[in-house]
Structure 1
Amino acid sequence: MKKNKPTIHEIARLLNIDSSTVSRALNNSNLVTQKTKDKVLKKAKEIGYQRNLLASNLRKSKSNTIGVIVPRISRHFFSSTIAGIEEASYAQGYNVIICQSMEKLEREIKIVNNLISNRVDGILVSVSMETTEDTHLKQFDLSNIPLVFFDRALSEMPNSKVLIDSIKASYDVTQHLIDQGCRKIVHIGGPATLDIYKDRFKGYKQALQENNLPFEENRVYTSALNEQEGRKIIKTLIDLGIEFDGIFSANDLAAIGAIKYLKSVGIKVPQDVAVAGFSNEPISEAIEPSLTTVDQSGYEIGRIACNLLLDRISRTDNESAIAKSVTLSPTLIIRESSKRKK
């Protein structure tokens, strides 16, 4: 037979006091003497009593839980942000519910509804590639649940956000390729509906313009930014006879796909084509040649975003409702895939 969990009523019976007194003692009420508190805590420990924190928090209209929505946990950048989020939330006594949209809007909408039903105190979101409207995310505001964006944000929503300077990062990458002698640089970007990929395209184009290099639309591709897409795009360029001597991909996975295809058809990297990615995935250092990329400070983005959210949750004054935008500086990591000049 399954043994029932110890209750405050059992503690009260063993100590021969009222259950209301036990409850006050466990909640450290000033209405109970320290001597009684010590007796109650000692007996609770003896019989293995554990407080029902969920029920207690719900009575206070608070769950001490925040929700996190990321596109894919398997991506190193997002696992890094989650590490930063969990570190910051743990320090302030909060639990974290982690959900992944798998880059699907429909799944993201279902997650939003589930998190609201689970009464989370706040939400951290990096939207999916398919997210082009904000109706579902506005449900958090309607439910009085604070929301903070990180990495991928919707510009039309006036919520706090923590981002990396994608324009500068992409400018730096493209300028590096130009400095290595590249003059015909391909850009593999993400969906133009998201600001983060618009900005990476802007940085690329700005670097070309400032170096008096022509911008050619047939060297710009929008994709889902996976390895298969990287291979496919480079094959298409070669089949069409479009010349290129450099590739800047808006993430590492597509860049790795490009490198693998180039090598498979006998094109040398970086001698014939220099390649750079974005996000500093662990595999980017392990492949041959190692991939030039941009580190996005995932841990810091997660930590800062979480602290912004928890500050918003803990405050009730009007100032706490003012949106804050934090932009972190990128770090260009130069590796063998782009080193054409000694």
Structure 2
Amino acid sequence: MSKRHVSLKTLAQALNVSMSTVSRALRNHPDIGPEVTQRVQQLAQELQYTPNPLAIGLLKDRTNTIGVIVPDLVTYFFSSIISGIESLANEHGYYIVIRCSYESYEKEKECLENLLKLRVDGIIMCLAQETQDYAHFNHLLEAEIPLVFFDRVCRPEEVATVVVDNQEAARRITQHFFESGYRRIAHIAGPAQLNITRERIAGYQQGLQECGLPFEEDLLVHCDLSIASATAATQQLLALSPPPDAIFGVNDTAAFAAMKEIKRQHLRIPEDVGLVGFTDEFHATVVEPTLTSVMHPTYEMGREAALLFLAQMDAKTPIQPRQQVLTTQLVVRESSSRAV
């Protein structure tokens, strides 16, 4: 007899008893005699039977699975958040199913539909950068299916979210540049529709104002979060007359691209151009010079998102969406440490 896909039905047919008898025998139910219980448990062991949590969950109208959608599976940023989600989910008896949108709006919708077909209990996700229409979340909200956004979020009045203090972090970066002697501070921002972009621009502008520096539109450029786009943005900035003497990237990917282009143009970091990233990827500590960056509490963000999800699962009635804001830390390294 094949040992693959061994189910209660497989055991019941082999022993010529009902599935309910098998189920109760596996749980040592007193209604089942010791001889039958022994036969059932012995065969289950021989065939390496294990309970199917999905099937059990469907019977209870709860699968104990969480759908997780991220825009990227490669970067440390998202893998660390996923680890945080999985850690807390496992502590509470939940499994996670991960899908990747690859920054595509259409792929994001497809991921959402496929996870709901798998009967996940709800969704924890980060928006794709292409997403500007949020109608595909209407069904979840109307059906009261738990939904949590992290990092890139929308509809915070309706959906629980976990974000960081983007505006305050960007303000600190700008102030740090000023205190290090930089005066033409540029910002490579992300796509305009993302909340992280808007919040970091607001912090950048606030920092300039507090330092008594004018906001110059030419020193603010956007990229699509790719290396190629960030490289082009850096080239645009360095072609200005005069060019910026400091660049703040929307994330570390943008900062790494800027670093490569600055070096290609034979400029020195931090003497000619100071550089700061955001998210503090592992590579920030191994590039030359080491990259000043904002440390993102990624693992904590994942656990907080899972907590917000479980709060919705455990609530007997719909609860008011919570907005969790986590604190970041500016980690100063060589790329912005110019002698004043």
TM-score by length of 1: 0.91
Match of 1:62 in 2: 62
1:161 aligns with 2:161: yes
**Distance in 2 separating the partners of 1:20 and 1:236:** 70
2: CA distance, partners of 1:181 / 1:4: 67
Counterpart of 1:325 in structure 2 is 323
Q: Distance in 1 between matches of 2:118 and 2:9?
A: 28
Contact preservation (8 Å) 1:227, 1:255: no
1:148 alignment counterpart:
148
User: 1:286-297 to 2 correspondence within 5 Å?
Assistant: 286-297=286-297
Alignment partner of 1:226 is 2:199: no
Distance 1:218 1:50, change over 3 A: same
**Aligned match of 2:191:** 191
**C-alpha distance in 2, partners of 1:317/1:138?**
19
Shift of 1:265: 1.4
Change (3 A) 1:323 1:7: closer
Q: Superposed, which structure 2 residues align to 1:133-144 within 5 Å?
A: 133-144=133-144
Aligned residue number for residue 271 of structure 2: 271
Distance change (3 Å), C-alpha of 1:6 and 1:290: closer
Give the fraction of aligned pairs with identical amino acids, expressed as a percent: 38
Q: Distance in 1 between matches of 2:230 and 2:212?
A: 27
Instruction: Tell me if the contact between 2:156 and 2:321 (Cα under 8 Å) persists in the aligned partners.
Output: no
Give unpaired runs (5+ residues) of structure 1: none
Q: Structure 1 counterpart of 2:174, which letter?
A: T
Q: What is the distance in 1 between the residues matched to 2:167 and 2:31?
A: 59
Per the alignment, in what secondary structure is the counterpart of residue 178 of structure 1?
A: helix
Mapped to 2, the partners of 1:179 and 1:40 lie a distance apart of: 74
Residues 277, 294 of structure 2: 8 Å contact kept = yes
- Give the aligned length: 340
TM-score for both structures, normalised by structure 2: 0.91
Shift of 1:130: 1.1
Larger CA deviation: 280-289 vs 30-39: 30-39
Structure 1 residues 1-342: aligned runs within 5 Å: 2=2, 6-8=6-8, 19-26=19-26, 40-41=40-41, 43-155=43-155, 158-318=158-318, 321-341=319-339
Q: Structure 2: how far apart are the matches of 1:27 and 1:177? A: 65
| C-alpha distance in 2 between matches for 1:28 and 1:307 | 34
Encode CA deviations 1:227-260: one digit per residue, 9 max, x unaligned. 2223212222333424211111111111111111
Q: Give the superposed CA RMSD.
A: 2.5
Q: CA deviation at 1:15?
A: 7.5
* Whole-Å separation in 1 of the counterparts to 2:133 and 2:304: 25
User: In structure 1, what is the Cα distance between the partners aligned to 2:301 and 2:52?
Assistant: 33
Cα distance, 1:168 vs. partner? 0.9
Deviations, residues 101-131 of structure 1 (Å, cap 9, x unaligned): 1111111111111111111101001001111
Mapped partners of 1:30, 1:137: distance in 2: 47
Is there any run of 5+ residues in structure 2 with no aligned partner, and where? none
More deviation in 171-180 or 225-234? 225-234
Structure 2: how far apart are the matches of 1:31 and 1:267?
81
AA aligned opposite 2:105: L
SS at match of 2:158: coil
1:182 partner SS: coil
Counterpart contact for 1:228–1:254, Cα < 8 Å: no
* Secondary structure at the counterpart of residue 325 of structure 2: strand
